[in-house]
């Protein structure tokens, strides 16, 4: 099939490249010309393992194009995928990019030489596909969805850092449309994939995406609330607590009794709070969408509030350890919202850095690939440099290499000896005498 993808970000680019790998003919367009220039040269503008190789292979096979204009990309296409950003604007979803893409597609639709199906891949609040998107397409084209062109939503569940694998081996495919013909088009598009596929009304496809992300955010805040409880209780330890919780047979055993370790358990773990381009914004949008319909969301509100407070809780632990943060050099290890990505959108490191600065501390940052936070923090390229003269180190992103650093030598470079581990990723390190290793979610030693 011939597909035109709108948006060359994490979702659009991975989807486009993935669909080309599956044998489709893909054109990818983006509002940012420089991004397209880089892609034409085979350069992916963000870190995503495996993506650049697959992009180059697809381009070399003639299955991926980056046309000059959306019109050129749409010409002769069967499907357009809208994979543009849906940021938050004053708490509510900002649909301007989705509607701009719908407008471009709508203006082109009357010239289509074949049946065309518009597929929303962006995460949009319930009612958007059959509401504003349909209206914009029909207004701009003068045509009718269902009669003259197809319309569907197919939310994306990939995770940054393993996006290519997630796209090519999805856990589920959700096809949301009220038209059987559009469902048939999606079935052909993903025909090769054998995962669970469900056909639902657009509103339910939109809800599935939000509820899935809200569940993950809820587990993180649940774990962090228990971490905060443990931090005040002599002898308590959230790691031990969670190990016991994970052993519930419904979380640790398959039907035949054999041990399993489902990925969801990684969200039942304490940390500095959830971040990234999806969980915070999607939770905010889902709450705002419910509020706009007169429905309150006390549970989701609490999930967001626990997360908002978490960086301050981490800074408080550090203040307790150091006495004061004034003029203290703090080595912040990791800026990306999780390992394996250079995405710092809504990373918990950002509020943490802000709180450290307002407490008078001098944060210094190390991250293997994330871009600068754009603020006053100094960046250092090596563990040696970031830890030199530091009063404390705070691990924020669990980059796996940090656990393998030569800590006995590194701590001798520090002015202080405190290592605060907000991911409990360094519990296995053999700390030299004199180091004050502070895991997250651990109460004071019982005396």
Q: Which residues are catalytic?
A: 278
Binding window for ligand NAD (CB under 6 A); candidates: 9-17, 307-315, 332-340, 429-437 = 9-17
Q: Does 346 interact with ligand NAD (rule: CB under 6 A)?
A: no
- 158 interacts with ligand NAD by CB under 6 A: yes
Interaction residues for ligand NAD, span 87-126 (CB under 6 A): 97, 100-101, 122-123
Which DSSP string corresponds to 221-244? HHHHHHHHHHHTSTT-BHHHHHHH
Determine which residue in the list 1, 2, 31, 56 makes contact with ligand NAD, applying CB under 6 A: 31
Rounded to a whole number of angstroms, the minimum distance from the CB of residue 278 to ligand NAD is 5
Identify the three-state secondary structure at position 39.
Answer: helix
Burial environment of residue 91 by CB neighbours within 10 A (0 to 12, 13 to 18, 19 or more): exposed
Ramachandran category for residue 90: left, alpha or beta (phi over 0 → left; psi -120 to 50 → alpha):
left
Q: For ligand NAD, give the closer residue by CB, 160 or 391.
A: 160
| Number of C-beta neighbours around residue 199 at 10 A | 17
Ranked by CB distance to ligand NAD, the top (closest) residue is 9
Q: Minimum Å distance from CB 112 to ligand NAD?
A: 18
Residues in a beta bridge with 64: 26
171: Cα separation from own chain's centroid: 17
Do the Cβ atoms of 25 and 73 come closer than 8 Å? no
Rounded to 10 degrees, the C-alpha dihedral 224/228/234/239 comes to 10
Please, which residue, 20 or 435, has the CB nearer to ligand NAD? 20
156 CB contacts (<8 Å, ≥6 apart)?
Answer: 11, 15, 83, 121, 123, 167, 209
Choice from 17, 26, 27, 29 touching ligand NAD (CB under 6 A):
29
Spatial distance between the Cα atoms of 429 and 23, rounded to a whole number of angstroms? 47
Under the binding rule (CB under 6 A), the answer on residue 81 touching ligand NAD is no
Helices within 197-337 (DSSP H only) = 202-231, 238-246, 249-252, 279-292, 298-322
**Nearer to ligand NAD among residue 75 and residue 100 (C-beta):** 100
Q: In the complex, what is the shortest distance from the CB of residue 345 to ligand NAD, in angstroms, rounded to a whole number?
A: 8
Applying CB under 6 A, what is the total number of residues that bind ligand NAD? 26
- Please choose, out of 4-12, 52-60, 330-338, 397-405, the segment that lies near ligand NAD by the rule CB under 6 A: 4-12
Least distance CB 48 / ligand NAD (angstroms): 10
Smallest separation, CB 378 to ligand NAD (Å): 27
Least CB distance to ligand NAD at residue 100 (A) = 4
Among 55, 84, 120, 217, binds ligand NAD (CB under 6 A): 84
86 lies in the binding site for ligand NAD (CB under 6 A): yes
160 binds ligand NAD (CB under 6 A): yes
Q: Which is nearer to ligand NAD, 12 or 441 (CB)?
A: 12
Tell me if 152 sits within 8 A of 120, measured CB to CB.
yes
Is 100 buried (19+), middle (13-18) or exposed (0-12) by CB count in 10 A? middle
Q: Restricting to residues 262-291, name those near ligand NAD by CB under 6 A.
A: 277-278
Q: What's the sign of the alpha-carbon dihedral 249, 304, 98, 128?
A: positive
Residue 361 CB, nearest distance to ligand NAD (Å)?
31
When binding is defined by CB under 6 A, the residue of 78, 138, 156, 346 that contacts ligand NAD is 156
Strands 92-93 and 88-89 come out as: antiparallel
Characterise 229 by phi-psi region: left (phi > 0), alpha (psi -120 to 50), beta (else): alpha
Kindly indicate which of the ranges 5-13, 288-296, 325-333, 395-403 contains the residues binding ligand NAD, using the contact rule CB under 6 A: 5-13
Q: Does 10 bind ligand NAD (CB under 6 A)?
A: yes
**Contact footprint for ligand NAD (CB under 6 A):** 6-12, 29-32, 35, 83-86, 97, 100-101, 122-123, 156, 158, 160, 277-278
């Amino acid at each position: 099939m011939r597909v035109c993808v709108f948006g060359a970000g994490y979702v659009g680019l991975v989807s486009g490249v993935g669909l080309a790998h599956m044998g489709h003919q893909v054109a990818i367009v983006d509002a940012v010309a420089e991004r397209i220039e880089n892609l034409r040269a085979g350069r992916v503008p963000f870190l995503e393992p495996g993506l650049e190789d697959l992009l180059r292979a697809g381009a070399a096979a003639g299955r991926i194009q980056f046309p000059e204009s959306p019109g050129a990309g749409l010409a002769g296409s069967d499907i357009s995928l809208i994979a543009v950003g849906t940021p938050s604007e004053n708490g509510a979803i900002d649909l301007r990019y989705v509607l701009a893409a719908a407008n471009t597609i709508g203006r082109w639709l009357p010239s289509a030489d074949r049946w065309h199906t518009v597929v929303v891949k962006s995460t949009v609040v319930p009612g958007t596909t059959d509401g504003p998107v349909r209206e914009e397409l029909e207004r701009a084209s003068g045509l009718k969805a269902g009669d003259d062109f197809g319309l569907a939503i197919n939310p994306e569940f990939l995770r940054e850092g393993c996006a290519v694998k997630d796209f090519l081996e999805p856990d589920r495919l959700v096809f949301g449309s009220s038209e059987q013909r559009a469902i048939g088009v999606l079935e052909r598009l993903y025909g090769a994939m054998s995962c669970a596929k469900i056909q639902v009304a657009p509103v339910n496809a939109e809800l599935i995406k939000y509820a899935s992300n809200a569940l993950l955010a809820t587990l993180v805040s649940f774990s962090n609330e228990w971490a905060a409880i443990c931090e005040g209780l002599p002898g308590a330890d959230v790691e031990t607590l969670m190990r016991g919780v994970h052993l519930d047979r419904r979380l640790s055993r398959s039907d035949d009794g054999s041990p399993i370790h489902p990925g969801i358990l990684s969200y039942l773990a304490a940390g500095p709070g959830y971040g990234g381009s999806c969980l915070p914004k999607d939770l905010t949008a889902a709450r705002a969408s419910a509020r706009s319909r007169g429905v309150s969301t006390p549970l989701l509100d609490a999930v967001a509030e626990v997360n908002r407070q978490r960086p301050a809780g981490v800074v408080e632990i550090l203040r307790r350890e150091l006495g004061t943060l004034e003029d203290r050099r703090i080595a912040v290890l990791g800026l990306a919202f999780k390992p394996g990505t250079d995405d710092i959108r809504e990373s918990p490191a950002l509020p943490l850095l802000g709180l450290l600065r307002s407490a008078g501390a001098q944060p210094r940052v190390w991250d293997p690939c994330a871009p600068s936070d754009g603020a006053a923090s100094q960046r250092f390229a090596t563990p040696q440099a970031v830890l030199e003269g530091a009063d404390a180190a705070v691990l924020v992103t669990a980059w796996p290499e940090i656990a393998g650093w030569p800590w006995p030598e590194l701590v001798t470079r520090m002015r202080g000896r405190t290592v605060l581990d907000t991911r409990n990723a360094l519990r296995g390190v053999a700390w030299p005498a004199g180091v004050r290793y502070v895991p997250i979610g651990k109460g004071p030693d019982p005396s």
